[in-house]
């Protein structure tokens, strides 16, 4: 039986939503400062408008729905689900005002793609976007990868009930005993790599002949989107624009490291380096990456696209790993996937995208941890068939510590995997309903739902609005790993059908 | 922390080397 929510439930949800809206307005200070620094006054007014709207709604919600009540699990989950919708809507305002979007829906598509760290874009004439707007596009990707709630938890909100929202944002692993300390550790890792990655890309940019300021900005933006496995770039040609093998090696490293579990980073940084070769997620990622790359390489070799080993590696492995970890950076044109790469390579990348990176990382997809757990469970069941039925079988997996495989692990992993598979196929069917080829529709759908951002050419401003909304929904629900969105849907249902 | 970062970067280097070798072998075999 569904219980109709009380006014106090709605009040607490909207109160916290107001706080987060205020936080989104505050985040616009970064692109605003960029616009002032580079004397981009048109862009400056776009961000002032965006801030004004965020502050107005934020203060209004806080004032009207003020409450001292603490959050429970349901509230936390619903706030998270609504936060991502509100963030996409409010963050789209300055993007839309830039004039680079055909409609407000297209701007919302890009901001949702940014927060969900997908990287699919409907922006027109990307090569001539202002520095401030580019800063905003990449910054929202950085925030989305960290988790909006993690950002707000670290800087704005009090800790009471915060763990519920932290879980809702698909970050159920507490690295340190206190959730605020966990959030701060995630920021520490990201900021250390921000310094390393930006410096490396800046030096490479200067070496390749870019102006120092431009090299720094591109280095910063590319790092933010690579680390957070996002995929936005300041150039329409994506990473191909740089024509630099060093740039490609650095971005591969950064996106792969971004797809590792923050708990693993903590373990390795505190001296437990053996974890890198023992952890179930790293082992699974290695096996799936090399297996899917082998499939991709066979496809490419058969198609004869890259006759040299170095070019096969540079093109094939780059797109494969970019898809696998959910970044979406590419060094080929979208239509090359369809017209040159052939079906086998496309299938290999689709499988890699569907699997995704690590849990509690910035990556999307089913996640290596779940794949590893399901494999272990399957192995246990097969062994049970072979051995004497009275034999007690104990299967373990190593994730920071040895964990005995239990039915609850398998149930949870299998359930989320099924949800992802259903989401991938539902998006593909939607694409096919609009007349796209099955394999291309599946590729684009997996790319959106697993928060990757590789495109075989379907995503374009001219695509049907219904498909834009489908992909936006896929990005949202895929990033939040279903549970919080399902809680929101149940809550909405209970307002209508509850007693 | 620094040795941890070095170990993580080493991990990506190993992955890339393994992929290159696999790509090289596949190209030879398929040809």
Output A361 or A343, whichever has higher pLDDT.
A343
Number of alpha carbons in the 13 Å side-chain half-sphere of residue A182: 24
Distance from chain centroid for Cα A338: 24
- Considering only the beta carbons, identify the residue of B5, B12, B30 that sits closest to A301: B30
Per-domain boundaries in chain B = 1-31
Angle, CA of A216, A87 and A326, to the nearest 5°: 60
Sequence-distant (≥ 6) Cβ neighbours of residue A463 within 8 angstroms: A434
Average pLDDT, chain A: 90
Distance from chain centroid for Cα A250: 19
Q: Which of A266-275, A347-356, A391-400 has the lowest mean pLDDT?
A: A391-400
Contact B22 A269 (CB under 8 A): no
Place of tokens 């093998």: A245
pLDDT tens for B1-31 read 788 899 999 999 999 999 999 999 999 998 7
In this predicted structure, what is the pLDDT of residue A472? 97
In this predicted structure, what is the pLDDT of residue A159? 47
Chosen from A175, A246, A262, A312 to mutate, greatest number of chain B CBs within 10 A: A312
Q: Report residue A123's pLDDT band, with 50, 70 and 90 as the boundaries.
A: very high
Cα separation, A465 vs A480, whole angstroms: 23
Q: Which residues pair with A404 in a beta bridge?
A: A396
Contact B16 A249 (CB under 8 A): yes
Phi, psi dihedral angles at A208 (to 5 degrees): -80, 0
Residue A152, pLDDT above cutoff 60: yes
Cα separation, A46 vs A35, whole angstroms: 10
pTM: 0.92
Contact A297 B12 (CB under 8 A): no
Chosen from B2, B3, B8, B14 to mutate, greatest number of chain A CBs within 10 A: B8
Cα separation, A91 vs A108, whole angstroms: 8
**Is the CB of residue A455 less than 8 Å from the CB of residue A468?**
no
Residue A158, pLDDT above cutoff 60: no
Chosen from A309, A318, A323 to mutate, greatest number of chain B CBs within 10 A: A309
pLDDT tens for A162-221 read 666 666 666 656 666 667 777 788 888 889 999 999 999 999 999 999 999 999 999 999
Distances (CA, A) of A298 to A187, A305, A345: 40, 11, 8
In this predicted structure, what is the pLDDT of residue A86? 94
Cα separation, A162 vs A21, whole angstroms: 17
Q: Nearest C-alpha of chain A: how many angstroms from B28? A: 9
Cα separation, B27 vs A463, whole angstroms: 38
In this predicted structure, what is the pLDDT of residue A153? 63
């Amino acid at each position: 039986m569904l219980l109709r929510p009380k006014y106090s439930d709605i009040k607490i949800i909207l109160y916290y939503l107001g706080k987060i809206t205020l936080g989104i307005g505050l985040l616009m200070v970064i692109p605003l400062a960029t616009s002032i620094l580079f004397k981009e006054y048109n862009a400056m007014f776009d961000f002032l408008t965006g801030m004004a709207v965020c502050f107005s709604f934020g203060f209004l919600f806080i004032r009207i729905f003020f409450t001292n009540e603490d959050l429970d699990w349901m509230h936390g989950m619903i706030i998270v689900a609504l936060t991502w919708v509100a963030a996409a809507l409010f963050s789209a305002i300055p993007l839309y005002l830039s004039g680079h979007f055909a409609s407000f829906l297209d701007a919302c598509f890009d901001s949702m793609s940014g927060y969900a760290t997908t990287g699919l874009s409907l922006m027109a004439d990307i090569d001539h976007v202002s520095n401030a707007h580019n800063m905003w596009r990449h910054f929202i990707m950085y925030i989305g990868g960290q988790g909006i709630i993690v950002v707000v938890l670290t800087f704005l909100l009090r800790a009471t009930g915060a763990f519920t929202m932290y879980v809702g944002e698909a970050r159920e692993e507490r690295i340190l005993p206190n959730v605020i300390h966990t959030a701060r550790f995630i920021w520490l890792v990201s900021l250390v790599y921000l310094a390393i990655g930006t410096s490396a890309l800046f030096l490479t940019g200067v070496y390749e002949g870019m102006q120092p300021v431009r090299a720094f900005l591109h280095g910063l933006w590319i790092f933010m989107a690579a680390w957070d496995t996002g995929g936005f770039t300041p150039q329409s040609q994506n990473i191909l624009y740089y024509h630099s093998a060093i740039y490609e090696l650095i971005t591969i490293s950064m996106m792969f490291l971004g797809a590792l579990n923050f708990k693993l980073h903590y373990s390795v940084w505190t001296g437990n380096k053996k974890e890198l070769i023992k952890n179930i997620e790293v082992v699974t990622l290695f096996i799936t990456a090399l297996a899917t790359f082998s499939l991709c390489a066979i496809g490419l070799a058969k198609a004869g696209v890259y006759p040299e080993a170095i070019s096969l590696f540079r093109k094939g492995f780059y797109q494969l790993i970019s898809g696998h970890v959910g970044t979406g950076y590419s060094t080929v044109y979208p239509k090359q996937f369809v017209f040159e790469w052939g079906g086998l390579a496309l299938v290999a990348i689709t499988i890699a995208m569907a699997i995704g990176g690590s849990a509690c990382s910035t990556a999307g997809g089913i996640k290596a941890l779940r794949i590893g757990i399901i494999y272990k469970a399957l192995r246990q069941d097969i062994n049970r068939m072979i051995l004497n039925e009275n034999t007690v079988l104990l299967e373990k997996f190593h994730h920071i510590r040895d964990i005995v495989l239990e039915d609850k692990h398998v149930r949870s992993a299998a359930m989320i995997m099924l949800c992802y598979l259903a989401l991938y196929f539902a998006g593909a069917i939607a694409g096919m309903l609009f007349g796209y080829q099955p394999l291309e529709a599946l590729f684009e759908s997996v790319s959106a739902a697993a928060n990757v951002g590789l495109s075989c050419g379907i995503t374009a401003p001219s695509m049907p609005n219904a498909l834009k909304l489908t992909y936006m929904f896929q990005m949202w629900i895929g990033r939040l790993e279903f549970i919080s969105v399902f809680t929101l849907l149940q809550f909405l249902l209970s307002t209508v059908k509850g007693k | 922390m620094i040795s941890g970062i070095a170990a993580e970067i080493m991990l990506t280097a190993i992955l890339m080397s393994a992929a290159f070798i696999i790509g090289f072998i596949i190209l030879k075999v398929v040809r």
